[in-house]
Amino acid sequence: MQIYSNAFSNNGIIPRQYTCECEGADLSPPLRWEDLPTKTQSLALIVEDPDAPDPAAPQRIWVHWVLYDIPPHVQDLPAGVQTLPSGTQEGINDWQRGGYGGPCPPIGRHRYFFRLYALDTDLPALLVPDKDNLQKAIRGHVLAEATLIGRYAKGDH
């Protein structure tokens, strides 16, 4: 299984319009995937920054986006997705809201992991749909995982 973006390559710089620095934009980047396992029933996506707040002394993983129950026939999400595919559930990020929150590192160049999980089940409704509860719910149901890494520091273009 593979996950890609036509906005940046793996380990490439995330363009400014997909970050907090582009006033009024902060759009989710376009994402696409392929080669899902044949028994995939749903997909989950977690976008996180393991370098918060400072890559030289990381203290926590900052969660930027949580999606789950993405139908397996869906092959991509467009840039700045406004309407999620039917059935897709949106979780809570570390700003305590749903939706995508782009890179906004206070210091240094951070890495952003876009982790896609192929699951052998649809998930039950999560009472608190955050990353921790999603990871508990998918335990034992992951058929495959793919990761796309983007990098960003304020001022990157």
Structurally, at CATH architecture level, domain 2-152 sits in Alpha-Beta Complex (3.90)
Tally of CB atoms within 10 A around 131:
20
> How confident is residue 154, by pLDDT bands cut at 50, 70 and 90?
confident
| 3-state SS track over 109-145 | CEEEEEEEEEECCCCCCCCCCCHHHHHHHHCCCEEEE
pTM value is 0.96
pLDDT digits (tens, 9 = 90+) for 1-60: 999 999 999 999 999 999 988 776 789 999 999 999 999 999 999 999 999 999 999 999
pLDDT digits (tens, 9 = 90+) for 51-74: 999 999 999 999 999 999 999 999
DSSP 8-state assignment for residue 40? -
Mean pLDDT of the chain: 95
Kindly list the domain boundaries of the chain, sorted by start residue: 2-152
